[in-house]
Structure 1
Amino acid sequence: MATALPEWQPPPAPAESAELPRLLVYNSLTRSKVPFIPIDQDGKKVGWYACGPTVYDDAHLGHARNYVSTDIIRRILSDYFRFQVFFVMNITDVDDKIILAARQQHLLSEWLAQHTEVDQEVREITNQAFLMYVAKHLPLLSNVVVLANYDEQVELAYGHVLKGQSLTNDGSPPGDKEAKIRMHMRTAESAVQALLALDHTYDAFVAKASGVLLPYIDSLYKRTVKGTDHHIFTKLTKRYEQRFFEDMAALNVRSPDKLTRVTEYGPQIVDFVKQVQDHAFAYETHGSVYYDIKQWESTGGVYARLEPWNRNDGELQADGEGALSTKPSGSKKSAADFALWKASKEGEPSWPSPWGDGRPGWHIECSAMASDVLGKQIDVHSGGIDLAFPHHDNELAQSEAFWHESGKDSRQWVNYFLHMGHLSIQGSKMSKSLKNFTTIREAIAKGDWTPRGLRIVFLLGAWRDGLEITGEVVKAGRAWEDKVDNFFIKIRDLQSRMTAMKLDVNAGTNGVNGIKMQNGAGSVADALAEAKRKFHDALCDSFDTPTAMRIISDLITLYNTQKHNPDTLSLELGRWVTEMVVMFGLDAQHKSGDLGWSGLDIPEQAKPFIYPLSQLRDRVREQAKAGGVDIATLGKLEDRDTRYSDNQPYANAYADFQRKLFQLNTQGASPKDYLAACDHLRDSVLWQLDIYLEDRDAESLAALVRPVSQSLRDECANKEAATAAKSRAKEEAQAAEKERLDRGKLSHLDMFRTTEYSAWDEEGMPTHDTEGKELAKSRTKKLRKDWTRQKQLHETWSAANQA
């Protein structure tokens, strides 16, 4: 049964002069698609607040899913629909996770500085840390953990989890709980390896044991950290904030128009909490301030508007309060009430407030900063789907309580909530806390992903749906990119040829403007117009990028099937596709006026040599296919070019090919030899330089000069694998045939002349067994079949040896 929703209040209608697109947006507040109407009466300006990162570690691919998808929608609104988007994002640089991570790293660093080797004290402390870690995180293990038998103990207690079963082992599917157990087992196992090994260097020992040492050393020394020691925490957050924006730049994610940080909003947050309390929707106890859900609802306010079904989920509520959120008994009126301001405990940073030294609650930061920058009502608020409850639901409740004195007269603080689907790995959400992630910079550095390839995969999936990276997903993304690559390469080549022939590359392409459509060209022109319409409709349908991407792909497919499109029509199609992929953010290096996206050209330093080389090769192939190569007609060739240094591979390739032509000419080589030299240049020399010459014999056009793409590499690798498999199969067949022939070396006349028999006829067939008894007819019949087969084998062997 669907949960009843509070009535959503659509923004007031814009001025009659405002022209708005027919844009529908899936709104988490209504769980449906609703018309997008900005608060701005002119229908131009859009205020958007996005929850930014909590900066205590490197961003991973799950973060990329959120921020790239957000960037795509932002680009569609601003670059396609032409809204003036003011994009605000926060940096969470103080919260429970940051406090814990920064303090643990600081204290462990200080403790390690007091030791220089793996001495007895280090081992004893590490063993105690290990036992505490296991007791807390792996409770099914025996109270007495024997390091030497650790693997057997884990298998006995958690073997079902290791085999992919749920923790309860009741047939239910595994999820985040099981992922956490596996993470804790990895951490504990690493510490066991450190403790059992006797030959570890100090750094290697620490690297393996740090997972258990961090929380243990923290438990011993956290009281030494003072609330005013803010530098301990900002040292970590400043570093990872910088790395986060480096990662976002690498992914071509636009920077926010306004960036806010929690540590820079202390007074405003205090004032915000005080006003909520003054409106009677918050109360103080033990130096902390909590939001009073019951009081809010008693005045007609609504709590948990986004995910009301989770309002009594204690686990989610506890996660929202943070890892350091243990409260004195009886401190809250209701278990669901959440902290607006937290009294700082030992080892936590603090700021002054009317309730004593403390720090902001997690949810209050966004309410205070967004309200300060964007005011009492916001067009769009976004974040990952895992933030819907409790974070965004708590934001809504406290912000509406801040701006309005009672629930009855409260207006919705946010008009449109957009929640991005998360990225999954093996069925579990990718997250820092589960340590089951690949960082963005690792994925790019290893070549697992390119910024464009990752964005294409996200575009091929709906922004609000979950996404699990599988082989099929990767294959689909690569196929789409390859198709567009090939299309742009052809269109650029066409543009170059038109420029060389001094044709107008900007001429009109509509059939009514004087261009006669032939051989299906009209259908492509019509398809382009239809594609533009459908593309627009797809983006109006809650930013339906999967459909939009399919429209681009289908249009290119149709174009490729038409062999004689007017050149100007081809260029118009190329320009439109270029505009759309750039609008989606698929080309960070795009220059205005360029056709296609970047990455299609060979290196600049290669062009002065490779283009002339390709043209020379084209002339050689043309003459060779015509029956003979006349080196005198190929243009000026130099047997040796001393201008080129030995470390210039492109120049060397050009010079080497010229020398090869002279050599073939001197030898009086056949056209076949020249063609082989051309193939070697393409398939070996230039391939190793990451350059490929795509011959177009059917079109009688010059070879396309292009970089070697991953798809070309995969195609080549598949061909080589197929060739190798064919060769192996041939060798195996030859070996089997040789074995068969070798069996025929024994003559059928001699095959039965063994001690098993005592008499034979003239054909060598046995007639009596070793005891002199005559063989039974049934046995003789069977032996005759064997004799006949061997006779055939022997005759084949004899014929082969005679040959």
Structure 2
Amino acid sequence: MPKRPDPRWSLPKGVEPPRLHLYNSLTRKKELFVPQGHVVTWYSCGPTVYDDSHMGHARSYVSFDILRRVMQDYFGFVIHYVMNITDIDDKIIKRARTTYLVKQYRESQVPRDQVYDDIAAAMEHHNAIIATTTDPDKCKMLIDEVQKVKIAAEALKTVTNSSNAAEASVKQEELLASASSVLGEWLDKQKGRDITDNSIFAELPRHYEEEFNKDMEALNVLPADVITRVSEYVPQIVEYVEKIIANGYAYESNGSVYFDVGKFDAEPNHYYAKLVPEAYGNQEALEEGEGALSLNTAQEKRSPNDFALWKASKPGEPAWPSPWGPGRPGWHIECSAMASDVLGESLDIHTGGVDLKFPHHDNELAQAEAHYNNDYWVRYFLHTGHLHIDGCKMSKSLKNFITIKKALEDNSASHLRIAFLLHAWKDTLDYSSNTMEGARQFNKMVTEFNLNIQDLIRRTGCTSSEWTPMEVSLQSAFNSGRVSVHKALCDNIDTRTALDHIRDLITEANKYMNNNVKVNSQLLLNINNYIGKLMSMFGVPVGDRAVSGGQDSEKLVAVAEVVASIREQLRQWSRDKEKDIKDLQGQLLGLCDSIRDDLLPPLGVRLEDREGGTPSIKLVDAAELMQEIQAKKDQEEARRQEKVKKKAEQVAKQPTEAPKDPKDMFRTPDYSQWDSNGLPTHDKEGKEITKSQVKKLTKLMEAQKKKFEKWQAQQQQS
């Protein structure tokens, strides 16, 4: 039996076909991706749900969604994707307490005089916090909060003095709303330790988890296969910690449990801070990782580098039973325990933002490897880069903090995703007007290309014309583009380079269409289908899937209503026997323009007139089309305003007094006789004017006549 041919026969000898390589944060280099089994096990650090999700979250979760889509839909990997929700955390506990206390305060109908006194006391407490704050950005944010409260308080005093009870009540609510942060801190200091009901601490994270899910759905992010919540995994976390203690890498102290970094690091098969060894001992980062409610624990630790696996609950904190007393999980242990519970002792991929490398992910690694006594809990660690706003780190104090909801008010989900696709997933991304304009332009290019091909097929059908050098050249560009895209995706899923090749391919296809009267529509359709599949795989639907949204029947009915309305209008005109034919022609042309500019755009239908043929019909996103039309109207209005301005300036430059009538311009003592038009015939001494002088004076009179007539016309217009 003959030997089966090598499927790589077309490659030069010694050349391997490109295969997927990923940048592994553990080794700080690109490595060939080889999963441990048939199913890729993937754990992603999810959000800590205590506030609205922001663009930093979008940066991570949209980027991971792109990687996930490419790996499963392009490379064919079977993926089991797990993500956690952190619903027990120091930030959540503090926010839940203050939210609950402020809500109680507002519902208790406190008298206005007491509100003034309480706000004053809260401001004093807030100023004390400002005085001890060393972070300049946080200090500025706290000062801004005080200023907002002062403005609201003054507004309430003004209304109170006017004896308008209804308006005063509204202003009091506005004051309490603006003072919620300041008032919450003050109330928490007084009453926070009395709150012990776990349900109070569960309400806030449930709300923001729902908001996070809505944001992810709006961004077209695929849901995780498994969602794990810390509050639902406390028993498993306790068992996980017990195993680490049994293995000798953790110890109990005063009801808390700490990871023994020194003991772990001393073992020959372990070492701490694999991801960021240079951060070993960074106390500022370690304290931030422990949480604001867990900073006074130095006396409980054997070493400052040790970190909490289990925290003994203090008054005012939620608590669960454990062998060491009532407490709650530490931040880092939750991911190790939950990921291990679902995916086992070794994960193929672990993802998170670059800011989580140390201490969070380094602590995760140490905990899991101490639990399993292995050194391979994660095979590939992938970290997305930072997101900056106009070149600066996103911060509430800098007033450049943008929530996902706000970003989606200004941009479509497709535009945001393309912005991420146009940047390497592991590098810093600058969210700016230039970035988004580039994304919009790319989206418009791909969309217009798809619309042009669909319109071509609608008008000419799917034809395969003679294969000329032009078709050979375009097919060659198509082949080359596909190979280049494949290489780019193999190279750390380099979507930026892949999109560059898509842009080049569209450019070549457009040149082909523009330079040929008769085109091979089958070839163009093949290119369009390829690009559409790629963009859809990236999570950016193009064509029918981008427009219909499952509402094809509704759109059909809406178009039918437009047709019915136009038909009825035409019937009414045809019955009007007194209508002048010229008036009818004008109305018909106006109706044609109205169909194109007013009736169809809200339905996402764009008509483009073509000389000597039927108009192009393009189905597009209705909202984007209306934005384009409004932008065009705004530009036209701006041009009109500019013309009015220039005309006014010209009028202003004109003399306010009327120029002299040309018939009177030469009636001066310099002359003694004139003809009927006012042209001089004799000078002041009675001598006849020479022919050359008459010619010169005639030119001057003609110029004055034009000037005079222009002034008269301007006066009539004004």
Residues 1:269 and 1:792: Cα distance change in structure 2 (over 3 Å): farther
What is the count of residue pairs matched by the alignment?
647
**CA contact 1:602–1:706 (8 Å) conserved in 2:** no
Per-residue CA shift, 1:13-36, capped at 9, x if unaligned? xxxxxx996111011111111111
Aligned counterparts of 2:597 and 2:175: Cα–Cα separation in 1: 49
Which residue does the alignment assign to 1:124?
Answer: 117
Where in structure 2 are the equivalents of 1:761-800 lying within 5 Å? 797-798=707-708, 800=710
**CA contact 2:50–2:95 (8 Å) conserved in 1:** yes
**CA contact 2:604–2:623 (8 Å) conserved in 1:** no
Displacement after TM superposition at 1:597 (Å): 3.7
Aligned counterparts of 1:319 and 1:678: Cα–Cα separation in 2: 65
Which residue does the alignment assign to 2:581?
Answer: 668
The one-letter amino acid of 1:681's match is I
1:349 corresponds to 2:315: no
1:697 corresponds to 2:694: no
**CA contact 2:659–2:708 (8 Å) conserved in 1:** no
Aligned to 2:241, what secondary structure does the other structure show? Answer: helix
Residues 1:265 and 1:800: Cα distance change in structure 2 (over 3 Å): closer
Aligned counterparts of 2:658 and 2:484: Cα–Cα separation in 1: 75
Aligned counterparts of 2:97 and 2:150: Cα–Cα separation in 1: 24
Match of 2:530 among 565, 570, 576: 576
Per-residue CA shift, 1:275-294, capped at 9, x if unaligned? 22222222222211111222
Which residue does the alignment assign to 2:191?
Answer: 221
Match of 1:464 among 415, 426, 443: 426
Residues 1:255 and 1:706: Cα distance change in structure 2 (over 3 Å): closer
Displacement after TM superposition at 1:336 (Å): 2.0
The one-letter amino acid of 1:697's match is E
Aligned counterparts of 1:736 and 1:793: Cα–Cα separation in 2: 23
The one-letter amino acid of 2:241's match is V
**CA contact 1:24–1:35 (8 Å) conserved in 2:** yes
Residues 1:554 and 1:604: Cα distance change in structure 2 (over 3 Å): farther
Displacement after TM superposition at 1:37 (Å): 0.9
The one-letter amino acid of 2:224's match is P
Instruction: Report the TM-score when normalising by structure 2.
Output: 0.82
Which residue does the alignment assign to 2:569?
Answer: 656
The one-letter amino acid of 2:81's match is F
Which residue does the alignment assign to 2:467?
Answer: 517
Residues 1:736 and 1:422: Cα distance change in structure 2 (over 3 Å): closer
**CA contact 2:605–2:617 (8 Å) conserved in 1:** no
Displacement after TM superposition at 1:88 (Å): 0.9
Aligned counterparts of 2:437 and 2:103: Cα–Cα separation in 1: 44
Aligned counterparts of 1:544 and 1:245: Cα–Cα separation in 2: 27
The one-letter amino acid of 2:97's match is R
Aligned counterparts of 1:793 and 1:743: Cα–Cα separation in 2: 19
Where in structure 2 are the equivalents of 1:73-112 lying within 5 Å? 73-112=67-106
Which residue does the alignment assign to 1:561?
Answer: 511
State the superposition RMSD in angstroms: 3.4
Residues 1:791 and 1:100: Cα distance change in structure 2 (over 3 Å): farther
Displacement after TM superposition at 1:338 (Å): 1.0
Where in structure 2 are the equivalents of 1:498-647 lying within 5 Å? 516-518=466-468, 520-563=470-513, 564-587=518-541, 597-599=546-548, 604-607=553-556, 610=559
Where in structure 2 are the equivalents of 1:283-432 lying within 5 Å? 283-300=251-268, 301-404=270-373, 410-430=374-394
Match of 2:142 among 184, 188, 193: 184
Aligned to 1:280, what secondary structure does the other structure show? Answer: coil
Segments of structure 2 that go 5 or more residues without pairing to the other structure are 1-15, 160-167, 663-667, 672-699, 714-718
Which residue does the alignment assign to 2:415?
Answer: 453
**CA contact 1:653–1:685 (8 Å) conserved in 2:** no
Residues 1:315 and 1:492: Cα distance change in structure 2 (over 3 Å): same
Aligned counterparts of 1:798 and 1:378: Cα–Cα separation in 2: 91
Aligned counterparts of 2:57 and 2:443: Cα–Cα separation in 1: 22
Per-residue CA shift, 1:682-716, capped at 9, x if unaligned? 23444466543111226x34331434766655654
Which residue does the alignment assign to 1:135?
Answer: 128
**CA contact 1:687–1:708 (8 Å) conserved in 2:** no
Per-residue CA shift, 1:433-469, capped at 9, x if unaligned? 998533333443xx31222222111111111122222
Aligned counterparts of 1:661 and 1:518: Cα–Cα separation in 2: 52
**Which structure shows the bigger proportion of residues in helix conformation?**
2
Residues 1:582 and 1:731: Cα distance change in structure 2 (over 3 Å): closer
Aligned counterparts of 1:431 and 1:91: Cα–Cα separation in 2: 23
Displacement after TM superposition at 1:186 (Å): 2.5
Which residue does the alignment assign to 1:634?
Answer: none
Aligned to 2:123, what secondary structure does the other structure show? Answer: helix
Displacement after TM superposition at 1:67 (Å): 0.9
**CA contact 2:310–2:329 (8 Å) conserved in 1:** yes
The one-letter amino acid of 1:65's match is R
Instruction: Report the TM-score when normalising by structure 1.
Output: 0.74
**CA contact 1:191–1:211 (8 Å) conserved in 2:** no
Displacement after TM superposition at 1:193 (Å): 2.2
Displacement after TM superposition at 1:247 (Å): 2.2
Displacement after TM superposition at 1:310 (Å): 2.4
Residues 1:39 and 1:108: Cα distance change in structure 2 (over 3 Å): same
Which residue does the alignment assign to 2:181?
Answer: 211
Aligned to 1:29, what secondary structure does the other structure show? Answer: coil
Aligned to 2:292, what secondary structure does the other structure show? Answer: coil
Residues 1:428 and 1:104: Cα distance change in structure 2 (over 3 Å): farther
Residues 1:110 and 1:658: Cα distance change in structure 2 (over 3 Å): same
The one-letter amino acid of 1:667's match is D
Aligned to 2:316, what secondary structure does the other structure show? Answer: coil
Displacement after TM superposition at 1:604 (Å): 4.2
**CA contact 2:555–2:603 (8 Å) conserved in 1:** no
Displacement after TM superposition at 1:668 (Å): 2.7
